[in-house]
Amino acid sequence: MEERRANIRRHDGRTLIAAACAAFAGIAHACELPPGTRVESARVAVSYLTIPAQIAVGQPFVLELAACSKQGPLPDRIRLDAHMPEHRHGMNYRATVVPQGAGRFHSEGWLFHMPGRWEFIFDLGSERLTHSVRVE
Amino acid sequence: MIRLAAAALLLLCAGPAWAQLLDFTEAEQRAILRHGPWPAPWTPDPSNRASGKPEAIEFGERLFFEPRLSPSGKVLCATCHAPYRGWQDGRARAFGLAEVDRNTPSLFNLRHSRWFGWDGAGDSLWAQSIRPILEAREMGGSQARAAALVRGDPEYACRFEKTFGAPPAADEGVLAGIGKALAAFQETIVSGRAPFDDFRDALSRKDFSSMKKYPEAAQRGLRIFVGRGNCSACHFGPAFTNGEFHDTGIPFFIKGGVDAGRHGGLKKLQSNVFNLLGPYNDDSSGASAVKTRQVAAEHRNFGEFKVPSLRNVAQTAPYMHNGSLATLADVVRHYSEINPDRLHSDGESLLKPLRLDAMEIADLVAFLESLSETASALPPRRPAAACR
C-alpha cells in the first residue's frame, strides 16, 4: 500500500511538473517561426511566404506556411483560402495543403485573378487568422 | 505675300495636330503601365513538345487549312477562324456544318491564355484545337478519320514524324499530335503594336511629347477604363484579360435550353482524355497541370464566360459569347446600363451601371479602337517545301 501511495505521489509530481510546464508554455511560449510574414492571435501564430515572393495578378504561386500554438497542441485541421472582401468573391482555385511535419505546410493552387486587396485566410482549428495584401 | 509666308511658317511650326495630355493621377498611371509592354515575352508551352518548333508550325499551318479533317471536305479551321477577319468569322454565332451556340473567338495571342474556349473546357491550346474537329456542328470529324488522314497522306506522315520523332501510330496519340501541331501554328498568331502601346511606353519614359500623339478621346476613354469603369479589373494586363470567367449579364438562353458557360466547361474539362492531367501532357514537371487539378467548381460558374482579350478588338465584331452585340458602342452601352439583378453571381459586386453619356461612350470606343495593331506582327508565310 505504502509503495502504491509513493507511486501515486511520484505520478502526481510528474503530472504537476507537466502541468506547470504547459502553463508556462501557455503564458510565455515564444512560438518561434521561420522568417516570413507573421500573423498571430493570442493562441496561434503563422508565418508564411509565397513563391515567387511578389504575387502577380493571374500568375500561380505557392505558399509555404509554418504554424505554432501558444497554448496546447497545434490544431489538426488547417484550411487555407483567400478572398477579395470588396468584391465579395474568392479564388477560382482551391488551394491544397500538404503537411510537411513540425508545423510546416506546403500549399499549391494559389492564383489571384484580379488586382486589388486580397485577404489570406488561415483557419487553424477554430482559430481564424487573416492577412491582407494588395496585388497590382 | 507676307501674310501667306507667315501662315505657311505657322503651319510648319504647328506640325501634326497634337492632343492635350490629360493629367493622369499616379494611380491611373500605374494602372495604365500594367497594360504593357507589348508584345509580351513568348515562351514555349511546356505541355506541348511541338510548341515553337518550326517543323510543327509548318505542319500545323497545313492542318489549319485542311478541309479533309471534316468528312464534308468543306469545313476547315479557317472557315470560322478566317485570317482576313481577325481570325474569326464576323458572324454572331459560328457556322461550320451547322450553326453553333457561341461566337467564334479570335485566335490572337492565345499563347498567353490559361484556359481556352468561352467556357474554358480546354486547359491547353492543343486540347482545345482537337475539340472542333470532333464537334458534330463544327467539322464533324472523328479521331479515327483524323488519324487515318495523317497516316495515309505521305506529306502529313512525314511532317508528323519530323515533329514528334516517331511515325503516326495509334489514333488517340495521332489526334493529340494533330492538336499540338495546330497549337504550334496558332501560337504564332500575335497581334502587333497598337497606338495605345506607343502611349503607354511613352508614359513609362515620361516622354510627354510622344504621349500627346495619342488622341484626347482615347485618353478620356482610357481614364474611364482604368478608373470608374473598373474595366481593367477583368481586362487586366498586357493582353487585356485576366484569363478567367465572369458573368456579364448577357442572357445564356439558347435553343432548347441554357448555355451553362464555365459550369459546363469544367465538366467537359474533367472528362477530357486530352486534359493536362492525362497521358498526353508533355510537361514532366507537372507544373502546367496544377491549374487543372486545383480549379474549383462553384455554383457561380453557371453563366460565366471567359474574359476575352481586347487586343485588335475592333477587328472582331460582333461581341460577347453569343455575338449578341454588334458594335463596340453596343458593348459599352451594355456595361453602362447593366442590371446587377440579372447577374448570376454569389454576391460579386464588380459590375455596376456606369450611366455613361454619349461622349463618354464615344471616348471608351475610341480607346478600344486604339488597341488595334497598326501593322501585323505575323511572320511572313512562305510556301513550305515538301517534307523529306
Question: How far, in Å, CA of A120 to CA of A81, rounded?
Answer: 6
Give the residue numbers spanning the domain of A24. 1-30
Q: How far apart are the first and last CA of chain B?
A: 74
Model confidence at B256, in pLDDT bands (50, 70, 90)? confident
Co-location of A56 and A99 in the same domain? yes
**Is residue B295 classed as helix, strand or coil in its secondary structure?**
strand
Instruction: Give Cα A38 distance to the centre of its chain.
Output: 10
Of B234, B293, B296, the CB nearest to A92: B296
**pTM confidence score:** 0.88
pLDDT of residue B347: 53
Question: How far, in Å, CA of A129 to CA of A85, rounded?
Answer: 15
Q: Are B290 and A115 a contacting pair at CB < 8 A?
A: no
pLDDT of residue B377: 85
A11-15, B77-81, B91-95: range with lowest mean pLDDT = A11-15
pLDDT tens string B309-330: 999 999 999 999 999 999 999 9
Bigger pLDDT: B360 vs B112: B360
**Is residue B246 classed as helix, strand or coil in its secondary structure?**
strand
Co-location of A56 and A69 in the same domain? yes
Domains identified in chain B and CATH numbers = 15-39+193-251+303-369 (1.10.760.10), 54-186 (1.10.760.10)
DSSP state of B231: G
H or E, element range at B154: helix B154-164
The backbone torsions φ and ψ at residue B259, rounded to the nearest 5 degrees and listed phi first, read -95, 110
pLDDT tens string B2-31: 554 554 444 444 445 667 999 999 999 999
**Cα torsion angle, A109, B288, B243, B339, sign:** negative
Question: How far, in Å, CA of B264 to CA of B304, rounded?
Answer: 10
pLDDT of residue B86: 95
**Is residue A64 classed as helix, strand or coil in its secondary structure?**
strand
Contact residues, chain B to chain A, C-beta under 8 Å: 30, 34, 114, 232-234, 236-237, 242-245, 290-291, 293-296, 298, 300, 345-350
Cβ-contact B245, B261 below 8 angstroms: yes
Co-location of A77 and A120 in the same domain? yes
Co-location of A126 and A64 in the same domain? yes
B356 contacts: CB under 8 Å, gap ≥ 6: B224, B332, B333, B336, B364
pLDDT of residue A5: 43
Residues of A in Cβ contact (< 8 Å) with B300: 89
Cβ-contact B158, B149 below 8 angstroms: no
Q: Are A87 and B234 a contacting pair at CB < 8 A?
A: no
Bigger pLDDT: B346 vs B26: B26
Of B234, B294, B350, the CB nearest to A96: B294
Distance from CA of A29 to the nearest CA of B (A): 36
Bigger pLDDT: B121 vs A3: B121
pLDDT tens string B291-307: 999 999 988 899 999 99
pLDDT of residue B350: 77
pLDDT of residue A16: 38
Helix axes B143-152, B154-164, angle to 10 degrees: 100
Residues of B in Cβ contact (< 8 Å) with A57: 236-237, 242
Summary mean pLDDT of chain B:
92
A90-104, B11-25, B212-226: range with lowest mean pLDDT = B11-25
Q: Are A87 and B349 a contacting pair at CB < 8 A?
A: yes
Residue found under cell 510537411? A100
**Is residue A14 classed as helix, strand or coil in its secondary structure?**
helix
Co-location of A125 and A102 in the same domain? yes
Of B242, B296, B347, the CB nearest to A57: B242
- Give the 3-state secondary structure of B62-108: HHHCCHHHCCCCCCCHHHHCEHHHCCECCCCCCECCCECCCCCCCCC
CA dist list (Å): B117 to A60, A95, B128, B230, B288: 20, 24, 7, 24, 18
Question: How far, in Å, CA of A113 to CA of A37, rounded?
Answer: 22
Whether A9 shows a pLDDT value over 70: the answer reads: no
Co-location of A116 and A49 in the same domain? yes
H or E, element range at A11: helix A2-28
Question: How far, in Å, CA of B263 to CA of B144, rounded?
Answer: 29
Co-location of A18 and A37 in the same domain? no
Co-location of A44 and A89 in the same domain? yes
Q: Are B347 and A94 a contacting pair at CB < 8 A?
A: no
Of B293, B294, B348, the CB nearest to A89: B348
Quote the cell numbers at residue B332.
459599352
Number of domains comprising chain A: 2
pLDDT of residue A127: 94
Quote the cell numbers at residue B115.
484556359
Neighbours of A32 (CB within 10 A): 9
Average pLDDT over residues A90-97: 95
Question: How far, in Å, CA of A119 to CA of A133, rounded?
Answer: 6
B341 contacts: CB under 8 Å, gap ≥ 6: none
B152 contacts: CB under 8 Å, gap ≥ 6: none
Burial class of residue A123 in the structure, from the number of CB atoms within 10 Å of its CB (0-12 exposed, 13-18 middle, 19+ buried): middle
Co-location of A80 and A90 in the same domain? yes
Q: Give the DSSP per-residue string, B319-386.
A: BSTT--B-SHHHHHHHHHT--GGG--SSS----------HHHHHHHHHHHHTTS-SS--PPPP-PPPP
Cβ-contact B201, B37 below 8 angstroms: yes
Co-location of A100 and A63 in the same domain? yes
Whether B244 shows a pLDDT value over 70: the answer reads: yes
H or E, element range at A38: strand A37-40
Co-location of A19 and A83 in the same domain? no
Co-location of A95 and A42 in the same domain? yes
Instruction: Give Cα B196 distance to the centre of its chain.
Output: 18
* Closest C-alpha to B116, from B315, B274, B335, B247: B274
pLDDT tens string B158-182: 999 999 999 999 999 999 999 999 9
Model confidence at A23, in pLDDT bands (50, 70, 90)? very low
pLDDT tens string A36-93: 999 999 999 999 999 999 999 999 999 999 999 998 888 889 999 999 998 888 999 9
Q: Are B234 and A114 a contacting pair at CB < 8 A?
A: yes
pLDDT tens string B51-66: 999 999 999 999 999 9
pLDDT of residue A12: 42
Whether B88 shows a pLDDT value over 50: the answer reads: yes
* Closest C-alpha to B184, from B39, B42, B383, B80: B42
**Is residue A82 classed as helix, strand or coil in its secondary structure?**
strand
Cβ-contact B105, B88 below 8 angstroms: yes
